[in-house]
Structure formats: C-alpha cells, structure tokens
Structure 1
Amino acid sequence: MSKKPIIVFEGIEGSGKSHHIKIVSRYFDKNKVKYLKIREPGGSLNSEKIRKLILNKKSNFNVKTDLLLYLAARSENINLIKKYYKKRVILIDRFIDSTIAYQHYGMGVDIKIINLINKYLLKNIKVNFT
C-alpha cells in the first residue's frame, strides 16, 4: 500500500465527515504532512461550479442528468487527484460510495452504468480507505 493513500469519508448529512476531515487535516498540518483535501461535488474550480448548479434549490434535474452532473464534477476532480496520486495523502469528502447510495439505491439508476462511468473516469486510481 502507498504511504500516500486516498482516504474517503462517507456518510449521510450531519454524520461528521467534514468534522473528521478537519481533525485529520489539523494533524497533517501540525506534522507537516502534504495532503490534498477535496469534496464531491466540488473540489476543483470547475467542480465547484457544477456543485453550485446541483445544489441550487431552483434546479430540478431528472435522474439521469443528476447522475451525469455528479460524475462530471468527479471528472473535473480526477485531474487534480491524478496530479497528487501517490505523491500526497488525498482526503475526499464523499466519493464513489455516495454515488452508489444516492443515485443507485436512492434514485434507482442502474448500478452497471455508475460502475462503468466510474471505471472509465478513475482508470488505475484506487481508494485505500473509506
């Protein structure tokens, strides 16, 4: 396993994901560990633009558009992740498991589609801890 893992924090709203990421970030800052912290949707500049669109209360996207917007936000983050993969610890607030939970189990999107697109986007990037 890499000494620079990808660590994903998953959970429902209010479960403490952001809180725990803050604690880990403070520890890394204190110990001078280089890391990248992103969230989904959001993280990179373009992904943050997509986040605003998704979370806009006036938006009313159909299930397929919703999935594709979340995966578009992920696609924008992949370049950032690739840049630091195995060079820095990467902390992610929500990732693949959230997509499966919300879009597949919550909205009924075919899991094969979700897995196919994630495989296409991530290629050889592997999450070490969730």
Structure 2
Amino acid sequence: MYNKVIVFEGIDGSGKSYHLNAASKYLKKKKVKHIRLREPGGSKNSEHLRKMLLSNKSDFEKKTDLLIYLSARSENFYKIIKPNLKKKTILIDRFIDSTFAYQHYGFGIDKKIIKLLNKFILGNFKADFTFLHLVQKKKIGNKIKNKKNRYDKFNKNFYNKVQNGFLKLSNKKKNYLKIFSNDSKETNKKIIQNKLDSLIKIR
C-alpha cells in the first residue's frame, strides 16, 4: 500500500467536499490510515484564519486575502502534512491550484508572485494526484444554495473565470482526473474509488 497526498479541487458547489467525504468513508472501510483537511482550515491556527477569510463581514484587499490563505497553508503544511507524509494518506479539500484559480484567474494577481510564495512555503512539495470537479457552464452559480460565506456571493462571471483557470491548470498536468457534476453522485463515487484503489494499491 502506498500513502499519497490527494487533492479535491473545483469551484464552490462542484461537489468536491461531498466526494472527499465519500472517499474518506471508503478508505476507512478499507482500513486505510488517512487524515483529511481543508483549505483554508485544518490546523487550529488555520481554522482561525478561515473564519476571518470567509466571514461575510470581512472585506480584505485581494493581496491581503492571498497572504492569509498562504499563511493558513503554511500552518497546515508544517503541522499536519509534513509530519504525516508517507505515514498516512492525506486528503485535502483545496490546495495550490485553488490559489492559482481563484487569486490569479479570478482576481488577477500576478501568477509569479503566487508561485514564489508557494515555493517559499512548500519547497518542492507537490500533491500526488488531483480530482478536479467541474460544473456545466450553464449551471455555474446555481449550485451554491446556501450563501454562507463571502466567496459564495461572487457572480457567475467570476466563477466562470475560476473554473476556466482550473481547466488550464489541469491541461498542463498528468496527475489529474476530471469529475463531472452532471453525472450521478454514485457514478462519480465509483470513478473516484477505482482511482483510489490504483493510486494507493488497496487490496
């Protein structure tokens, strides 16, 4: 069995969190030792930062937003991810590509700055595999039913730019699998489970 770092990406309402939860239940059933965390969030300090970032009362400037997100990532990496590498499979709800998709493609922050800051925090570390959850273009924005945080309130055009950003990122990489939200949840759960079996070598 191989312990991997596996990321679930996608815009808000794409089903990524649902499928991460389903994957976690599947690994538990198969007795695979694993941890799960979310971005922003995860470690105690990162959860505090998450509350600030996503609060409807917050109005951070976009560069401040980026730096807080990356501060939360730094806490997670050094306190959760790094100590568990190769010891447990790690499931992450959002990671590096969300930063590029939202902060660069969505908000227009220079890609070089994001890349430099990620390098500063993570060194050469990269996730082993990413499941990218995609929403049909005509349904973007419709799947966010409960607007619980300030990111839920951005318009359809913003989420179009973000999803297009994810697609551009995925086209440059081999360790990506696209999951389409217009397919049934059961179909997608099976696709993800089969991939987990091959990645982790579950018997």
TM-score of the superposition, structure 1-length normalised?
A: 0.95
> Percent same amino acid at aligned positions?
60
The corresponding residue for 1:21 is 20
Q: Which has the higher contact order (CA 8 A, sep 6+)?
A: 1
2:76 aligned counterpart, secondary structure = helix
TM-score of the superposition, structure 2-length normalised?
A: 0.62
> Is 1:88 the equivalent of 2:85?
no
Shift of 1:125: 2.1
The corresponding residue for 1:60 is 59
Shift of 1:123: 1.5
Unaligned runs of 5+ in 2: 131-203
Task: Determine the C-alpha separation between the residues in 2 that align with 1:42 and 1:78.
Answer: 11
Task: Determine the C-alpha separation between the residues in 1 that align with 2:105 and 2:16.
Answer: 20
2:83 aligned counterpart, secondary structure = helix
1:90 aligned counterpart, secondary structure = strand
The corresponding residue for 2:113 is 113
The corresponding residue for 2:99 is 99
Map 1:23-62 to 2 at 5 A.
23-62=22-61
Shift of 1:69: 0.6
Shift of 1:83: 0.6
1:10 aligned counterpart, secondary structure = strand
Task: Determine the C-alpha separation between the residues in 2 that align with 1:41 and 1:125.
Answer: 18
Q: Which runs of at least 4 in structure 1 moved beyond 6 Å after TM superposition?
A: none
Question: What is the RMSD of the two structures over their aligned residues, measured on CA atoms?
Answer: 1.1
Task: Determine the C-alpha separation between the residues in 2 that align with 1:121 and 1:3.
Answer: 25
Q: Which amino acid aligns with 1:123?
A: G
